Amino acid sequence: MSLAAVLTLIQQVPDSGVVAVPVPSALAVRYHETGTVLWVLDTLIGLAIPAVILFTGWSAGLRNAARRVGRGWAGTVVVYAIVYLVLTSLVVAPLSYYEGFVREHAYGLTHQTFAKWLRDWITALGVGCVIGAIVGLVAYGILRRARRWWLWTGLAALPLLIIGFVVAPVWIAPLFNRFGPLENKTLERRILAEADRAGITGSRVYEVNKSVDTEKLNAYVAGIGGTKRIVLYDTILRKFTPDEILFVLGHEMGHYVLGHVTALLLTAWAAIVLTLWLIFRWSGSLIARWDRRFGFTTLADPASVPLLLLLGGVISLGIAPFELFVSRHVEHEADRFGLELTRDNHAAASSFVKLDKENLGVPYDGLIDLLWRDGHPSDAERIEFANTYRPWETGQPLKYGDRFRAR
């Protein structure tokens, strides 16, 4: 069913405390449709770049240059990884600039300066080069020594994912934006009381000045142990009521309490292991057939980077629907947790409406969204669930009631 046809089915709900599913503006529909086109373009370019570098033999030439500069195996891997990332980033820089700067300004979603965009782009590239060099050293070190390299590389990926989860909110995120304590101390006390009811103790509440980059709204709970933190965009603080903020954070606390972070990490890890195994199964025949054109005869050669990326990109398209299905499930359960924690259906539904409008969303998913783009249920599903899920009103047991401390 087309988006236009779906929109004709949306009816305004009578004023009975129930929040209506919004009809998206023409601007939001256009933003969504052009975003889908750009996603397809990004995906095709993401496959085309490593394919060109691989089949032209440029990768082998880059490997030779990296070997001269790096002088040893480790130096070759590091130099190759950094040069590859820099060159490919420069190739897609015009599209990145359009998507992240020009387009967002055109739709009124940012007031970011070009200087800030450029600084963030360079910072992200620098972080990517560091991570790429580390991953390259680990992966190619295993490739050189292990017959079942896909298994050992997969095992090595899990601690790297966990370290990334711990490091990112504390050391990487502050490279792009300024984090500080929540200025509204009354709201902070309510948030910490809610966190305590949810079984989360020792958290700190931060607000981040994301309005320098975007007008979109967001909040999240991140970190473990000493890095545990509740973070609010300054945009959501301006546009949401305190009750709506408490529901949004109740949802985010649900991810933390219900172990969703672990589930998603394990899902990502399983996808990595499956991807590596499929690369192991397919790469040998491709190298045997195209070794002269590729310029290498073994996957342990650093020149195989674009082959790994090309196969990995194709495989990820195939397994993305499963990963997104898992993500939508945990997001739905986090919505349930937030509703049971706050018991504020109106605040929950109205927060979804505001997120939909302020972020130029559309309430219903299309097929491409469902399979490859959306890790959340559609906004319409979330609003309708927020309106109707009220087990406490009929004396039914709460699914997560045993997780809550007494009011």
List the catalytic residues.
252
Nearest 5°: phi and psi at 283? -70, -35
- Give the Cα separation of 66 and 2 in Å (integer): 51
Note the Cα 246 to chain centre separation in Å: 23
Query: What are the structure tokens assigned to 367, written together?
Result: 């097929």
- Alpha-carbon distance 172 to 174, whole Å? 6
Report the relative pairing of strands 204-208 and 179-181 from DSSP bridges.
antiparallel
Site of tokens 């004396």:
395
Question: DSSP per residue over 274-323, as a string?
Answer: HHHHHHHHHHHHHHHHHHHHHT-SSTTSGGGHHHHHHHHHHHHHHHHHHH
* Whole-number Cα distances in Å, 207 to 69, 169, 211: 44, 13, 11
Three-state DSSP state, 240:
coil
DSSP symbols for 333-365:
HHHHHHHHHH--HHHHHHHHHHHHHHTT--SS-
**Residue at token pair 């405390």:** 17
Q: What is Dmax (Cα atoms) for the chain?
A: 74
Q: What is the residue whose two structure tokens read 């989360």?
A: 200
C-alpha span between 352 and 399 (Å, rounded): 22
Residues 372 and 39 sit within 8 Å (Cβ to Cβ): yes
